Structures are given as C-alpha cells and as structure tokens.
Amino acid sequence: MTGLFPELRILELASIPRMFEGNSRLDRIVFNAFLSSLPSLEKLDLDETCGAGGFDDDTLQILANASCLTHLNIGFAGRVSPEAMVQFIRNRPTLRVFEANVSFYHLDCTNR
C-alpha cells in the first residue's frame, strides 16, 4: 500500500488492538514505510492500537518528517520512550494535538 495514498490527510486506526498482534519487526518496518509514504498526513489516531508494540521510537522519528501533521494520538504505545516524545514535540511547530497515554495498566496492554 506504500505510495497509493499520497493525498491521505486523516488516518484513524484507533482501537484495533490486534493490528500488530504478531509484534514482529517486519510489521513495524512495513507500517513505517506506509506512514512515510503519506506526505499530506495531518491527523493520525492510533489510540489503543499500539499496545502490541507496532509503534516505537523509530515510527515517531519517521513522523517527524510529516510536515503537515497537526494531530497525533498514540495512546498506549508502550515502546515509545519519553525522550522520543519530548524530542518529537519540540521539533514539530505545526503540531496542535499530541496524545500519549503510556499507562501499562490498561486491559489490552502489558508491560514491555
């Protein structure tokens, strides 16, 4: 699907806990390649989807290049470090909304 949606502005994949069920490195590589092919992306909602580990510091780094991104929700992204979040926020002047709940006590998320 890489390169098929260059004009996509909003991607909402919230509450799909099995999206990264395999928790494999290949899943992250494919997802990161897909995200990097969305130059017009303004809003990305992955709340309660990233708990299986499909979203990590590398993914956040890829989104740092998304110049149109204004809204990002990565709730329960247990593989994203606080340092990566701070760096991302500092380097995103267009960012208006950033949501990240990394509580490991959510029913669908385990401590990693």
In sequence order, the 6+-apart residues with CB closer than 8 A to the CB of 23 are 52, 53, 54
Scanning the structure block, which residue is given the tokens 């509450």? Answer: 15
More confident residue, 111 or 95: 95
Most confident of 2-6, 31-35, 105-109: 31-35
Give per-residue pLDDT as tens, 44-86.
998 877 665 667 888 899 898 888 999 999 887 777 888 999 9
Q: What is the arrangement of strands in the sheet containing 97-99, beginning at the earlier edge strand?
A: 10-12, 43-45, 71-73, 97-99
In sequence order, the 6+-apart residues with CB closer than 8 A to the CB of 107 are none
Gap between the Cα atoms of 26 and 101, Å rounded: 25
> So what's the pLDDT on residue 26?
61
Query: Which pTM value belongs to this model?
Result: 0.79
